[in-house]
Amino acid sequence: MSSSAVDFALKNYPRFVEELKALLRIPSISTLPEHAGDCRLAADSLATELKRIGMEHVRLIETKGHPMVYGDWLHATGKPTALVYGHYDVQPPDPLDEWLSPPFEPTERDGNIYARGAVDDKGQVMAQVKALESLLVATGKLPINVRVIFEGEEEVGGEGIADFVASKPPELKADFALVSDTELFAPGLPTLCVGLRGMIYTELEVRSSRTDLHSGVYGGAAPNSFVSLAQILAKLKDEEGKILIPGFYDDVIPPSAEELATWKKLPFDEEHYRISEVGSKQLVGEKGYSVLERTWARPTLDVHGIPGGFTGAGAKTVIPAKATAKVSMRLVPGMTPAKAFALYKSFVEKIAPAGVDVEVRLIHSGDPCVVAVNNPYIQAATRALHEVWGKDTVFIRSGGSIPIVGDFDRHLGLPSVMMGFGLPDDNLHAPNEKFHLKNFELGIISLIRFMEEAAN
């Protein structure tokens, strides 16, 4: 690894950590309107940083929601162009009382940095920025052409960037996308993600009466929105995890026998996974499928919360007029959000108990995708990763959704290199989210070496 950029990165690494902390202190929670200003602050701060390190044409690109950050460096004549993607927005930090240190006061413990967004995705965005800085400052140039696009709406569906990508703008003209929002399959194991689930995120609202009612006076005659909602939810998925919406599995394209065979060789200990990652007394899910198949290649349905009704301490004897469940489904290759939503909506309307009105709303959606592995960018990535980590790269899928990867493919024809450095126990979307600092460091170096290799 005789790279002056790598040397620069190693020398400046302590400063890089401090700069990551500064970004983590900004509570850029995209789903909460009161944090819109913080989202813009995070965008501004990234734009300032891109300018400082020598990127050109740096600016915010406005959307209906939070702005995107753009910058480019296009002087590597004859070399490929990378579209470097990440997101600066984060999930809400609740439940707050389960954090060991405050979510927006980044704290180092045991070689990790703890903060909301540490790994998803600010730590990885900063790894990209610091790789670019190391190359630009140490060598005065980049080995390939680079366009950077960071969005601030990934956690709320990414509508702004999706519209922008669909418009095929000149700013996004590139040969491949470099997406850093995924994880290593295991500590120290270089990993490229080559498949993502899609999703539909919905609200299912049940209305049972005009106003809240006294459960003593009306209990026995008035429908109860919460009971009816529970009855609907219980009919969507059985206790083993099979989704009961008719036709829901019809279009699922299973992984190839070859891909399934490589998954079987991955170092995966189901009992360790259950105890140390999931922390539940038993794993659940469809019969006949392994955990990796169930989380990577099978659609699922989850309920995230049921706002409304009485939620205070103690007792209130009310029949709530309205109950709303936040329900999402993960989709796999072959499925489309439009069809999945239509099947779900019509089934909910059909099974709604007597006495209640139901309304199903689509909040956001994303296509599932698989990316090809037979292209020079994936090959350059595996070379770089082998050099930095000393091991062959494993190809995995992710159960999560990065809808933009599908959009890059569909609208811009770009294959994505999903090179991420999280760990399975990084507590994404949960309290005590963290990023292993060694992975931040090796991530920066891997990205430097990948860009150098991609020039060959």
Active site (catalytic) residues: 89, 154
Choice between 260 and 412, CB closer to a second copy: 260
Nearer to a second copy, 222 or 455 (CB): 222
By the rule CB under 8 A, 306 interacts with a second copy: yes
- 8 A C-beta contact, residue 419 and residue 396: no
CB-based contact 415:176 (threshold 8 Å): yes
Burial zone of 36 (CB within 10 Å; 0-12 exposed, 13-18 middle, 19+ buried): middle
Which CB, 215 or 375, lies closer to a second copy?
215
- Contact between 379 and a second copy per CB under 8 A: no
In the complex with a second copy, the residue whose CB is nearer, 296 or 408, is 296
Per CB under 8 A, the list member of 284, 338, 342, 372 interacting with a second copy is: 284
Q: Cα separation of 5 and 413, whole Å? A: 30
State the nearest-atom distance from the C-beta of 277 to a second copy, in Å. Answer: 8
Binding mask 183-212 for a second copy (x = CB under 8 A): --------------x-x-x------xxxxx
Binding of a second copy by 286 (CB under 8 A): yes
- Nearest approach, Cβ of 392 to a second copy (angstroms)? 24
Q: Segment contacting a second copy (CB under 8 A): 8-16, 143-151, 254-262, 319-327?
A: 319-327
Number of residues in contact with a second copy, rule: CB under 8 A?
Answer: 104
Using DSSP, state whether 205 is helix, strand or coil. strand
Question: What is the rounded CA–CA span in Å between residue 288 and residue 192?
Answer: 26
> Two tokens at 80?
């490929």
Among 45, 112, 224, 393, binds a second copy (CB under 8 A): 224
145-151 and 81-87 beta bridge pairing: parallel
CB nearer to a second copy: give 111 or 305: 305
Q: How far is the CB of 236 from a second copy (least distance, A)?
A: 8
Task: Pick the binder of a second copy from 37, 111, 219, 413 (CB under 8 A).
Answer: 219
**406 to each of 49, 162, 168, 402, how far by Cα in Å?**
28, 10, 14, 8
Which lies closer to a second copy via its Cβ, residue 18 or residue 110? 110
What is the crossing angle of helices 337-351 and 225-236, to 10°? 130
Of 292, 287, 285, 288, residue with least CA distance to 269: 292
State which of residues 281, 287, 288, 374 lies at the interface with a second copy (CB under 8 A): 281
| 282 binding a second copy? (CB under 8 A) | yes
Distance from C-alpha of 300 to C-alpha of 197, rounded to nearest angstrom:
10
Q: Which of 2, 77, 280, 374 binds a second copy (CB under 8 A)?
A: 280
At position 187, the amino acid (one-letter code) is: P
Interaction between residue 37 and a second copy (CB under 8 A): no
393 binds a second copy (CB under 8 A): no
Q: Is 376 in the site for a second copy (CB under 8 A)?
A: no
Q: Output Rg (C-alpha) for the chain, integer angstroms.
A: 23
State which of positions 96-155 bind a second copy (CB under 8 A).
98, 155
Q: Give the sign of the dihedral formed by CA 432, CA 438, CA 441, CA 445.
A: negative
User: How near is the Cβ of 24 to a second copy at its closest, in Å?
Assistant: 18
DSSP state of 154: G
* 3-class DSSP assignment, residue 67: coil
Nearest distance, CB of residue 39 and a second copy, angstroms: 13
Question: Are the beta carbons of 28 and 42 closer than 8 angstroms?
Answer: yes
Per-residue binding letters, 239-278, with a second copy (x by CB under 8 A): xxx-------------------------------x---xx
* Segment 55 to 84, residues that bind a second copy, using CB under 8 A: none
Distance CA(362)–CA(131), nearest Å, equals 38
SS3 409: helix
Q: Would you say 190 or 299 has its CB closer to a second copy? A: 299
- Cβ neighbours, 10 Å, residue 258: 7
Say if CB 418 and CB 400 are below 8 A apart: no
What dihedral angle (degrees, nearest 10) is formed by the CA atoms of 369, 370, 375, 377?
60
**The tokens of 149 are what?**
């696009």
- What is the rounded (10 degree) CA torsion for 122, 326, 96, 41? 40
- Listed ranges 105-113, 132-140, 236-244, 410-418: which one lies at the site for a second copy (CB under 8 A): 236-244
Q: Which of 10, 217, 244, 253 binds a second copy (CB under 8 A)?
A: 217
Among 15, 52, 141, 304, binds a second copy (CB under 8 A): 304
In whole angstroms, the minimum distance from the beta carbon of 246 to a second copy comes to: 19
Question: Contact, 159 vs 95, CB < 8 A?
Answer: no
Among 222, 252, 266, 455, binds a second copy (CB under 8 A): 222
- Closest to a second copy by CB, 78 vs 279, is 279
Residue 189 near residue 207, CB atoms below 8 Å: no
For residues 257 and 313, which CB has a smaller minimum distance to a second copy in the complex? Answer: 313
